[in-house]
């Protein structure tokens, strides 16, 4: 039982004594249980510095086990000589592999750092809007225009790449970046779906591309062409 609080009006001491006796008689039928003894969950001070011992003892390795695990010295020498002979036979005559002699070809990217007004969906053609709705594309999703070697005609990919760089610096193409793939002889131009048609027409006009260029989206492939 918890503590009992008795409220009374201030008066004589005899009235207070009789009130206490009456309260004690009323509380006698209720059981009075002693509180449980507190037991701490953490170890005692004497057990704190005892080391923690594992349940199982550590395995004992004898000298016989070590000798069985190691192969004999003769086998080791034979395997080493065999490995050296195999390595010498695999080496090219010149001593340098073909991968080391081949030049490393890198691909570079170019992008605009200034903010440009975005194209609205109202300026898109019906064919482009139909493609967006059929493929359920998000207008902020990134797409890729692929300019291939047949679009260059007699020009070199480096000439088209330099023309694209100058066009990026002088034009107002919104939020796009380009990447040259010299091994594939392709130029990739990344842009938002919202500005895909505008960027594609700009590439056709500024770079004077021939044929059709394709717009591809991740996991869907080619979805549009100009």
Whether residue 209 contacts residue 153, with contact meaning beta carbons closer than 8 Å, is answered with no
The residues spanned by each domain of the chain are 109-225
> What's the pLDDT score for residue 85?
47
The single-letter DSSP state of residue 92 is -
- Residue 11 parent element (H or E): none
Tens of pLDDT along the chain (226 residues)? 567 777 777 776 677 788 888 888 888 887 777 778 877 776 666 666 666 667 777 788 776 766 665 555 555 555 555 554 454 555 555 544 444 555 545 555 555 544 444 455 557 889 999 999 999 998 888 999 999 988 887 888 898 998 888 877 776 666 678 889 988 889 999 988 888 898 899 889 888 888 999 999 988 889 999 8
Predicted pLDDT of residue 121: 55
The CA R_g of the chain, rounded to the nearest whole Å, is: 43
**Residue 112 φ then ψ, to 5°:** -90, 140
Write down the pLDDT at residue 72. 55
What's the CATH number for 109-225? 3.30.70
pLDDT for 49 equals 63
What span, in angstroms and rounded, lies between the C-alpha atoms of 201 and 189? 12
Residue pair 91/98 in contact by the 8 Å Cβ criterion: no
Contact call for residues 206 and 171 (beta carbons, < 8 A): yes
In whole angstroms, give the CA distance from residue 189 to residue 180. 9
Q: How many Å apart are CA 53 and CA 45, to the nearest integer?
A: 18
What pLDDT score was predicted for residue 61?
A: 78
pLDDT for 135: 92
Which letter does DSSP use for residue 150 in this model? Answer: G
Cβ partners under 8 Å of residue 213, min gap 6: 145, 146, 147, 148, 151, 200, 203, 204, 225, 226
Output the six-digit token pair for 33. Answer: 């249980």
Residues 147, 187 contacting (CB under 8 angstroms)? yes
């Amino acid at each position: 039982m918890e503590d009992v609080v008795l409220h009374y009006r201030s008066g004589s001491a005899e009235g207070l004594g009789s009130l206490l006796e009456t309260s004690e008689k009323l509380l006698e039928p209720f059981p009075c249980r002693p509180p449980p003894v507190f037991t701490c969950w953490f170890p005692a001070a004497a057990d704190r510095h005892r080391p923690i011992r594992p349940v199982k003892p550590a395995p004992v390795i004898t000298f016989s086990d070590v000798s069985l695990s190691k192969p004999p010295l003769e086998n080791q020498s034979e395997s080493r000589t065999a490995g050296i002979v195999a390595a010498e036979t695999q080496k090219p005559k010149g001593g340098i592999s073909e991968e080391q002699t081949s030049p490393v070809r890198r691909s570079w990217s170019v992008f605009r750092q200034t903010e440009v007004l975005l194209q609205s969906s109202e300026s898109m053609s019906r064919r482009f809007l139909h493609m967006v709705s059929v493929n359920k594309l998000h207008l902020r999703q990134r797409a890729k225009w692929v300019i291939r070697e047949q679009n260059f005609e007699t020009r070199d990919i480096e000439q088209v790449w330099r023309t694209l760089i100058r066009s990026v610096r002088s034009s107002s193409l919104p939020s796009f970046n380009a990447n040259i793939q010299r091994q594939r002889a392709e130029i990739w131009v990344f842009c938002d779906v919202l500005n895909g048609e505008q960027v594609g027409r700009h590439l056709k006009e500024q770079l004077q591309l021939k044929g059709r260029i394709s717009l591809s989206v991740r996991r869907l492939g080619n979805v549009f062409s100009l």
